[in-house]
Each structure stands twice: as C-alpha cells, then as structure tokens.
C-alpha cells in the first residue's frame, strides 16, 4: 500500500507516494535524482549515505522514506549556497580532503552537524566525530585538516595552513 | 537490500499504538530507532507484515529525576544520553557506554528502549541496566507494569515483554553519595559489538565499606549476565585488592562466552576479569570525587 509523504529536501517541498519499504537513500537517489548521496556498504557501516534529517546526521540506508514524513532533509546538493561553496566544501578543496570523492558527501554532512554542535573541536573530537565515515583513500589526515579549516573559517579565526600533509 | 513489503502505521498516541498491536497480533513489530530492526528486515531475518512506528507518540523521550528515581523515556536517543549534563554528574556510566555504541549517526537514531527491547546480549545497555538495578516499564492494554531487570531477559532476542506491550520507560534508583559507576567494552574497531564489556556500580560508606555493588556483563553469555558472585565478593567489607581480584575471578568463571571471530573463549574470560578490575577502580575513583 502506497503512503503519501511530504518532505522538504534542500529547501524544496515534495509530496510523494512511496512504498513503505522504500529506503530513504533510494528515495533521494532514484525518486528525486539527487545522486550525490552515495551507497557504499548498504549496512549502516560506511557513512557514504549520510544526510541531515532535521539537522541531525543519519545514515539514509537504514531509515525508511516514510520515517522522513514531515521532516527536512539536506543532501550534498543543498550545501553550497547561491553558488558559493560552504566552509566545509572549501576546506576539503583547499586541504586535499578527498581523492576519489566517494566518501566526501557523507563526510561533509557529518562534519556539518559536528561543527554545528561544537564549533571548535579538538583533533580527537573530530576523529571520534567522523568515526562512522570510512574513507579508503586519504588516510583521514587531510579530512581532519579540512574540518579544522572550516571550523576556523566559520568562527572567523585565522585560517590554518593548507599545505598538504605527506606522511 | 530492500525489506519485504509491509504495511506502515504511525500512531499518534500510546493507546492507539497498543490497539494496533492487539489488532495485528504476531505479524506486527514496533519501530523505534530502526537500527537493529531495519538491518534485520533488509536481510529478511525479520519480515513483519505491519510496522508500528512509535516515533510520532509524544512524551516518550525524556531524562529526569523524580523522588529519588531516574526516569528515562524509551524513545530517548543514544546521542541525548551521551550528551546529557544531568547524567554526566551522577551517571557517567551512560556517556561511557553510549560513546562506545556504534557511531554518531547511529546514535542519532538508536533509542535506549529499542536497545533493551531487542534482547540482544551483544548490546551495551542491558549490562548497564543490571549494574544500576533498573526497572523496565511496559505499557499494554491493561496499563503499566514494572519489570525488575533481573526478570527481563529470557533468551536470544527474548524478553519479558508480552505481545501488545510497549517498553515506555526505564526507572533507576538514584544511589546515595559515595556511589560511582563505569562501563567499558573491548571492541575490535569503532562500531563493532563488544568482545566483552563490563558495567559496574559501587557504593561505599564513610568507612570505606562496600554497601552495594552491581556488575553486569556484555556479550559473554547467551543473555545479559549479572555477575552475582562478584557482587557478593565485594559487599560488606572494605574494598581491597584481594576482594577485587576475587570479584574478577568469579566473573571470568561465571560467564559463558563462545569462541568466535572476536576471540577465543579463554581470551574473553581473561578480558572479563581485567575489565571487572578496571571498572571497579574507575567506579571507586568516581565515588571518591
Ligand atoms: C552499525 C551499527 C553498529 C551498532 N553497534 C552497537 C553497539 O556497539 N552496541 C549496541 O548496544 N548497539 C549497537 N547497535 C544497535 C543500535 O544501538 C540499535 O539502535 C539498538 O540496538 C536498537 O534500538 P532502536 O531504537 O534502533 O530499535 P529498533 O531497531 O527500532 O528495534 C529493535 C527491536 O526492539 C523492538 N522495540 C523497539 N522499541 C521498542 C519498545 N519501545 N517497546 C517494545 N519493543 C520495542 C523492535 O520491535 C525490534 O524488535 C549498532 C547498530 C548499527 C546499525
Ligand atoms: S551505505 Fe549507508 S552506511 Fe554505508
Ligand atoms: S576520498 Fe576516496 S573514499 Fe574517501
């Protein structure tokens, strides 16, 4: 039996008829064609499918679309404002925080909530904060730097050096 | 992986939810955070025909103290337990445990009620509940009933909850001053279930005599296990290295871990012994501060 739901995705309201078993990630990718949200493991382990649901980072492969009824969703497509990269997007670009980019949308949305709750996290807090997001390429060091850069930018502090780290 | 088809209901009140559970019988399942249930449905280990989503029911998410009882609503998310300043003061054991449950995204969804109702000895809250002597509140067609934690876990994924009942609240006695509690689990990597985990709560009187002790073990027995002999080894005397060693020894003897990818039976018994000692020390440090 189809269920009618209303969701606001990146500021745009959609009313959809969905099967209750439709996973949120499939609604985002296949119904709304927003393919920036990735599916990695499909078992709530890798974090590639992370989005914001009412401002909280969640793994959309383990949530049903019907559970998002009445809620607001942010995907990577909604992060840049008026063509301007968000501080996190800029941080990832400036600090080589990505190689293949598969994990990046999930990393950026997870880090968005992290910085909203804790504007000046320590390195350790950042590493615990992205513990649910796997990256197979970067070795994480430049991801940590990217998040530190974004935090500094959002606080209006002096920006840290963006020299890439070779270890 | 896509779950089998089901009918989805989102009742707006507890009585409506209970009526639906009665109407749909064994074919219905409750959905809280969904982070144990949806993975099982994707694997078709669970194939409910009706899913009753209780997230739209108001008043099931709270952390408060009333008349010497800590009351936690079943829909309270792991992230709320982890960051609660109120809990950090008297019950730091909750931030110990939640920090080690999965990862931040899972903790934004997973609920304490679901974690306990799931009846999985690998989950971390059951051992904490044993150490804190919790009471589980189940609400059904005949109203509320209280279930002592020692009568709650029955077997693999089996609890004292009857069909048509919803776990609505957890009640924990607020211990006297001189009490400390702590939890730690060994895990192979972030997000993994425990190789072994130990929860401890200890109360000392002004003379340093142990007046109460609660010790719960994670994932080393088919059901969450109270280390009863270990508790008894501590109670009624001043804490000493000898009594702590005795408690550790009993816990490692009384658990029943199975050898698996996380380690051999022998290894797990040894981890239990070590963690019992460490958590007693940690709880006592906190009791003294
Ligand atoms: C990647 C990953 C790693 C994890 N790691 C850990 C870990 O290290 N430690 C740990 O403890 N847990 C872990 N979990 C499990 C997680 O904490 C779950 O969220 C939790 O076990 C279940 O809570 P839930 O609210 O998601 O319940 P759900 O999945 O919604 O429900 C679980 C079961 O309980 C029943 N139920 C739920 N709520 C109620 C209620 N109020 N009354 C009666 N029945 C109810 C449901 O019908 C279902 O059978 C992990 C999960 C994932 C996905
Ligand atoms: S695809 Fe959702 S966590 Fe990996
Ligand atoms: S950049 Fe390739 S997985 Fe992270």
Taking the CB of residue A100, how many other CB atoms lie within 10 A of it?
10
Residue B114: exposure state from Cβ atoms within 10 A (0-12, 13-18, ≥19): buried
Q: Cα–Cα distances in Å, from A62 out to A139, B75, B214, B265?
A: 26, 17, 35, 32
pLDDT in tens, A81-129: 999 999 999 999 999 999 999 999 999 999 999 999 999 999 999 999 9
Residue B268's pLDDT is what?
98
Q: What residue in A sits closest to B3 (Cα-Cα)?
A: A21
**Strand segments (E) across B114-209:** 135-140, 143-148, 153-155, 158-159, 166-173, 179-186, 196-204
Q: What tokens does A4 get? A: 């009618």
Residue A85's pLDDT is what?
97
Q: Does B45 touch chain A (CB under 8 A)?
A: no
Taking the CB of residue A30, how many other CB atoms lie within 10 A of it?
12
**Ligand 3 touching residue A130 (CB < 6 A):** no
CB atoms B109 and A62 under 8 Å = yes
**Ligand 1 touching residue B114 (CB < 6 A):** yes
Residue A51's pLDDT band (boundaries 50, 70, 90)? very high
Residue A165's pLDDT band (boundaries 50, 70, 90)? low
Residue B116, pLDDT > 90, answer yes
Angle between helices A141-155 and A87-94 (to 10 degrees): 140
For chain A, helix (H) and strand (E) counts, in that order, are 5, 5
**Ligand 3 center–CA A153 separation, angstroms:** 23
pLDDT in tens, B169-205: 999 999 999 999 999 999 999 889 999 999 999 999 9
pLDDT in tens, B11-52: 999 999 999 999 999 999 999 999 999 999 999 999 999 999
Report the first-to-last Cα separation within chain B, whole angstroms. Answer: 50
Residue % of chain A over a pLDDT of 90: 95
Q: Collapsing DSSP states into helix, strand and coil, what is residue B153? A: strand
Q: What residue in B sits closest to A42 (Cα-Cα)?
A: B1
pTM beyond 0.95: the answer is: yes
Pocket-testing residue among B28, B33, B36, B79, ligand 1, by greatest number of atoms within 8 A of Cβ: B36
Residue % of chain B over a pLDDT of 90: 97
CB atoms B105 and A114 under 8 Å = no
Starting from the CA of residue A43, give the closest ligand. 2
**Ligand 1 touching residue B34 (CB < 6 A):** yes
pLDDT in tens, B213-229: 999 999 999 999 999 99
Bridge pairing between strands B143-148 and B135-140: antiparallel
Task: Give the largest CA-CA distance in chain A.
Answer: 55
Most B-contacting residue of A64, A103, A108, A114 (CB-CB within 10 A), to test interface: A64
Handedness of CA B133, B139, B141, B143 (dihedral sign): positive
B218/B110 Cα distance (integer angstroms):
18
Residue B133, pLDDT > 90, answer yes
Q: Cα–Cα distances in Å, from B243 out to A12, A94, B231, B235, B288?
A: 64, 57, 10, 9, 18
Residue B155, pLDDT > 90, answer no
């Amino acid at each position: 039996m189809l269920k009618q739901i209303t969701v606001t995705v990146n500021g745009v309201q959609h009313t959809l008829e969905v099967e209750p078993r439709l996973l949120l990630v499939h609604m985002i990718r296949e119904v709304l064609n927003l393919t920036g949200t990735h599916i990695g493991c499909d078992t709530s382990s890798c974090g590639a499918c992370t989005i914001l649901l009412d401002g909280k980072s969640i793994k959309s492969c383990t949530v049903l679309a019907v559970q998002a009824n009445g809620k607001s969703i942010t995907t990577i497509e909604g992060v840049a404002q008026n063509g301007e990269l968000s501080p996190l997007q800029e941080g990832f670009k400036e600090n080589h925080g990505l190689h293949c980019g598969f994990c990046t949308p999930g990393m950026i949305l997870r880090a968005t909530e992290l910085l909203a709750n804790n504007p000046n996290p320590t390195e350790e807090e950042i590493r615990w904060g992205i513990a649910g997001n796997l990256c197979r390429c970067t070795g994480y060091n430049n991801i940590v730097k990217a998040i530190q850069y974004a935090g500094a930018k959002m606080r209006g502090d002096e920006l840290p050096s963006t020299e890439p780290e070779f270890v | 992986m896509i779950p089998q088809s089901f009918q989805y209901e989102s009742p707006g009140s507890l009585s409506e939810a209970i009526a639906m559970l009665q109407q749909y019988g064994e074919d219905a399942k409750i959905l809280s955070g969904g982070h144990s249930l949806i993975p099982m449905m994707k694997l078709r280990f669970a194939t409910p025909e009706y899913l009753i989503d209780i997230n739209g029911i108001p008043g099931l998410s709270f952390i408060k103290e009333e008349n010497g009882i800590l009351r936690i609503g079943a829909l309270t998310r792991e992230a709320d337990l982890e960051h609660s300043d109120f809990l950090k003061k008297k019950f730091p054991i909750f931030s110990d445990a939640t920090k080690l449950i999965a990862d931040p995204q899972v903790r934004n969804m997973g609920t304490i009620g679901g974690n306990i109702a799931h009846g999985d000895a690998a989950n971390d809250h059951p051992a904490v509940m044993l150490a804190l002597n919790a009471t589980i509140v189940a609400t059904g067609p005949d109203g509320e009933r209280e279930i002592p934690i020692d009568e709650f876990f029955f077997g693999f994924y089996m609890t004292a909850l009857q069909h048509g009942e919803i776990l609505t609240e957890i009640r924990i006695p607020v211990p006297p001053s001189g009490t400390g509690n702590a939890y730690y689990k060994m895990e192979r990597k972030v997000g993994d279930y425990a190789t072994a985990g130990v929860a401890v709560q200890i109360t000392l009187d002004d003379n340093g005599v142990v007046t109460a002790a609660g010790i719960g073990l994670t994932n080393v027995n088919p059901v969450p296990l109270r280390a009863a002999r270990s508790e008894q080894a501590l109670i009624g005397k001043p804490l000493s290295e000898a009594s702590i060693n005795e408690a550790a020894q009993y816990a490692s003897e009384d658990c029943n871990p199975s050898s698996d990818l996380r380690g051999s039976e022998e290894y797990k018994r040894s981890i239990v012994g070590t963690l019992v000692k460490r958590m007693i020390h940690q709880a006592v440090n906190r009791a003294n501060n």
